[in-house]
Amino acid sequence: MDVPFDLLVNALVAGLLLGAFYAAVTIGVSISFGMLDIVNIAHPGFIILGSYIAYIVNSRLGIDPILASIVMAPAFYALGALVYQVYYASFERYGQEALRGLAFFFGLLFVTEVTLILVFGVDYRYVEAAYIGPSVQIGIIDLPLRMLVPCLVALTLIGALQLFLSRSFLGRAIMAVAQDQLALQLMAASPTRIKRVAFALSIATTAIAGALLIVIQPVEPSIGREYIGRVFAICVLGGLGSLPGALIGAFLLGIVESFTASLPWLGPSWAPAVAFGFLLITLAVRPAGLFGR
């Protein structure tokens, strides 16, 4: 056990930074899958779409990718509303959402991915911004700005969403849909309308998550597949429908992956097994997740 102390500290910090980013990626699924019971497998597909839009805006106009993504978020909101509308009209209205809805999103994921491949090719794309190169040194801790900026943006995003859900009227209505749809209907509110807002919101977060992704690493269309498992793992790990739970789940997964990658007797190639083994054990022992309702 002669692992240097500063390696461990740096692994922990890297895990936390990575975790915050994972949380930003997961937050949308936490809303759509956790609260609305919509198994949106295509979520990573939308994230990659967000990355590419950030890339286009950045390379054509030279605007900061994260800023561009915030400007693009309303467009993603509209896209999300449209997707929910189709989903509702073809599956949910008939109570057939389980298997066919899943397949629908699965198909959507591949259509997005291959369309991006047909348009942009399979080359890795990256963005340019002032904070991508340098890093800050605090004592023995090494903080690359490339990770730190997305981490801060992600935490702000999650904080804002949590505030919206717990304080505003609409946010509380979304939480109410998650708890009991029938009761909401009895109070003369339309669950469909609220669910559309919530789902659109979850897609709007992918615009920002996509920009964070392309800041952290170069992106190519099929990279989204790596995130399908991860995103749902975090969502289940933290407990469905709880944003703080998702944040903690994301930190856990980030730290586990980072430690596995930096410990000399394991190495990066073991990281997925440890992370998903963790998920399997959680599912087998406590299916409701660590902080489930």
Partner 1 sequence: MRTLTFFLICTAIGIGVFAAARLVDNDYLFFAGYVVLQYIVLATAWNILGGYTGYVNFGSAAFFALGAYATVFLHKALPLEISSLIVIDPLPIPVLIVIGAVISGFVGLGMGYLTLRLRGAFFAIATLALAVVLQTFITNWSFVGGARGAYVIRPNEIEPIGPYVQYLFLLMLALAVTALTVARFIERSRLGLGFAAIRDDELAAEASGVPTLKLKLIATTISGALMGMAGAPFPYYIGYLQPSSAFALDYAVNSIAMPMIGGTTSWVGPLIGAVLLGTLQQIATVTISSSVNLLIVGLLIVDCVIIAPTGILGLIEGRRTARDVVADPAVFALLFGINVIPIYFLHQEALTARPLEIIFWAVLIFLALARGRLIGQLWLITLPIVSAALSVVPGPPLQGLISILALVICLACGLLLRPREAATRSGTP
Q: Which of 61, 182, 187, 264 binds partner 1 (CB under 8 A)?
A: 182
Closer by beta carbon to partner 1, 64 or else 92:
92
Are the C-beta atoms of residues 41 and 228 closer than 8 Å to each other? Answer: yes
CA pair distance 24, 173, nearest whole angstrom: 22
Q: Which of 62, 71, 93, 141 binds partner 1 (CB under 8 A)?
A: 93
Report if residue 99 touches partner 1, rule: CB under 8 A: yes
CA pair distance 230, 250, nearest whole angstrom: 9
CA pair distance 74, 90, nearest whole angstrom: 24
Amino acid at the residue 72: M
Contact letters for partner 1, residues 37-56 (x by CB under 8 A)? --x-----------------
Least Cβ distance, residue 273 to partner 1 (angstroms): 3
CA pair distance 113, 45, nearest whole angstrom: 6
Q: Which of 19, 191, 245, 249 binds partner 1 (CB under 8 A)?
A: 191
DSSP H or E stretch at residue 142? strand 141-144
Report if residue 179 touches partner 1, rule: CB under 8 A: no
Report if residue 82 touches partner 1, rule: CB under 8 A: yes
Report if residue 120 touches partner 1, rule: CB under 8 A: no
Q: Is 134 exposed, middle or buried (0-12, 13-18, 19+ CB in 10 A)?
A: exposed
Least Cβ distance, residue 229 to partner 1 (angstroms): 5
Report if residue 293 touches partner 1, rule: CB under 8 A: no
Closer by beta carbon to partner 1, 172 or else 286:
286
Report if residue 135 touches partner 1, rule: CB under 8 A: no
**What is residue 12's three-state secondary structure?**
helix
Report if residue 119 touches partner 1, rule: CB under 8 A: yes
Report if residue 269 touches partner 1, rule: CB under 8 A: yes
Least Cβ distance, residue 293 to partner 1 (angstroms): 14
Are the C-beta atoms of residues 209 and 70 closer than 8 Å to each other? Answer: no
Residue from 60, 83, 232, 216 nearest 149 by CA? 216
Report if residue 196 touches partner 1, rule: CB under 8 A: yes
Report if residue 141 touches partner 1, rule: CB under 8 A: no
Q: Which of 110, 124, 133, 217 binds partner 1 (CB under 8 A)?
A: 110
Give Rg (Cα) of the chain.
Answer: 19
Residue 141, beta-bridge partner list: 138
Residue 139 to residues 44, 132, 142, 143, 253: CA-CA distances in angstroms? Answer: 36, 21, 8, 10, 26
CA pair distance 221, 190, nearest whole angstrom: 37
Residue 142, beta-bridge partner list: 137
Choose the stretch contacting partner 1; rule: CB under 8 A; options: 117-125, 145-153, 203-211, 243-251.
117-125
Residues 225-264 that bind partner 1 (CB under 8 A): 225, 228-229, 232-233, 236
CA pair distance 68, 55, nearest whole angstrom: 9
Binding site for partner 1 (CB under 8 A): 33, 39, 81-82, 85-86, 88-91, 93-96, 98-104, 106-111, 113-115, 117-119, 122, 181-182, 185, 190-193, 196, 225, 228-229, 232-233, 236, 269-273, 276-277, 279-280, 283-284, 287
